Each structure stands twice: as C-alpha cells, then as structure tokens.
Structure 1
Amino acid sequence: MQTPLGMEMLERVQNICRTLPEVDQIVDGFGHDVMKVRGKTFIMMGEGHNSALPSLSIKATKEQQFLLLEQGGYVKTPYIGHHGWVSIDMEVGPNWEELTGIIQEAYLLAAPKRLVKQVLESGIIN
C-alpha cells in the first residue's frame, strides 16, 4: 500500500487482526497485502492500476455474501466472488465498526476448527 488511503486501510485491518491469534501478513506474488491464519487467506488488500482507490476483499460464506450485497456497501470480489468473497465498495467507503465483525467472521471461516474453538472459548471474539 502506497497511497494515504491505502495505508490507513492497511493499518486499520492490522489493528483488527492484531487481536486474533496466529495471523500472518504477507505480500503475495501480485503485490497484495494478505492476511492468513495457518496458511489460509481471509483478507486481501491492494491498490490496482484500474482504480485510484485501494481494495479490501474479505472471505465470506455465500449466505453472508448475499446479505452483504443486498445491504449495500459491498460488491462481489472479481475472480473469487463465486466462492463467497466480498469487497468493500470504496466509492461508499468502509464502515469500520461493521468491518471488525466481518473480518472476525472471515478469520473464523479460515482458521482450523481447534483454533476456532480456542478463540471462541477465550472470548477474543464474541
């Protein structure tokens, strides 16, 4: 991330993920900042050549995706949206309070069952 808006978005996502155990941040082969839990991706962020705005894509179930798309403020992620992924409609702008819960849910989808159980029992995620 290089733009001020992209850096702010990255910092906010990092702050949310900092509370979650075993999250790794990497830069993938396409230059996206990616958040993973035990090797499974649950967030992808980037700044593309097609838009001046950064992108934030989040793993979701198809049911969650449907509800978020209906609600507005989200779009189906190109190329991987058919797997349930959603992206923030950056023209609308992110609702960070709502996104905290959505990111936590994405983490739980990607994390192994034992880790999910541990996290839920610890109260890290309500």
Structure 2
Amino acid sequence: MDPLENLRSLCLALPEVTERPSHGEPVWFVRGRKAFVMFADHHHDDRLAFWCAAPPGAQEACVAADPETYFRPPYVGHRGWLGVRLDVAPDWTAVGEHVLDAYRQVAPRTLVARLDAQD
C-alpha cells in the first residue's frame, strides 16, 4: 500500500476537502482555506510521516505512549499538531482516527455536523 495514496483517500473522503501542494508537499484543506493534514516525505528529517491538527493534549499523550510512531512536528508542533510516522508499519485505523480528529479541529461546525450525520 502506498502511504500517500491511503492518506489522500482518507482526507478526500471528508466533506469539502481539497488538496494542493504547500512547501513541496501535499496538504489537505477544509474549504480550500484551513489546513488539517500535511504529508511530510522526509521534510527536514529522516521520516515519512504526516502532520495533523490534534485535540488539546493529544500530542503529548500520543508521543508519551508511543514515541516510535508519534512526534512533535517542526513548525506546527508548538500549536499542538501531531506528527505520525508512516514508515513504521502504520495502523491505518489509528491514522483514520487522527485524520478525523484533525478535520474536526479545523472544520466549521456545519461541516462537522454533516460528517456526524453520515455516521
């Protein structure tokens, strides 16, 4: 499985999500404005990963529980974003949950309500 294609599928399945490159990497936006997931193909380090918006406290909890998979990403880590490695046999169920959490952090309430109605 191609990690980028899997991540892309998860992101683009959400309401009003678009993709465009930013800083040379694919980034997914809600309504074309607010980024919620960024692909990081060895972006300033040796990891294949993605960075995503995360609920308060999630970054610290994930990094403490599994530092081989999770990390504080550069540039956006100070805002609570979470780095998730894709080069260490990712758990795609967990990846999907992180993508949903990221979307919920950034999307307007109307889109979150639409997402909840789909479930």
TM-score, length of structure 2 as denominator length: 0.85
Please show how residues 49-60 of structure 1 align to structure 2 within 5 Å.
Answer: 50-51=44-45, 53-60=47-54
Q: Are 2:28 and 2:36, in contact at CA under 8 Å, matched by a contact in 1?
A: yes
CA RMSD of aligned residues (A): 2.0
Quick one: structure 1 residues 53 and 81, their matched pair in 2 at CA, closer, same or farther if it must change by over 3 Å?
closer
Offset, 1:120: 0.8
Consecutive unaligned residues in structure 1, runs of 5 or more: none
Quick one: structure 1 residues 97 and 75, their matched pair in 2 at CA, closer, same or farther if it must change by over 3 Å?
same
Distance 1:56 1:35 in 2: 11
Q: Give the count of matched residue pairs.
A: 116
Per-residue CA distance 1:32-60 (angstroms, 9 max, x = gap): 11011111101111323654542311111
Is 1:32 equivalent to 2:25 in the alignment? yes
Q: Are 2:17 and 2:28, in contact at CA under 8 Å, matched by a contact in 1?
A: yes
TM-score, length of structure 1 as denominator length: 0.81
Is 1:12 equivalent to 2:18 in the alignment? no
Q: More deviation in 86-95 or 58-67?
A: 86-95
Offset, 1:88: 1.7
Offset, 1:69: 1.0
Quick one: structure 1 residues 77 and 114, their matched pair in 2 at CA, closer, same or farther if it must change by over 3 Å?
same
- 2:16 is matched with 22
Distance 1:17 1:109 in 2: 14
Provide the secondary structure at the position in 2 that maps to 1:62: coil
Offset, 1:82: 1.1
Is 1:66 equivalent to 2:28 in the alignment? no
Consecutive unaligned residues in structure 2, runs of 5 or more: none
Distance 1:83 1:110 in 2: 13
AA of the residue aligned to 2:118: S
- 2:109 is matched with 113
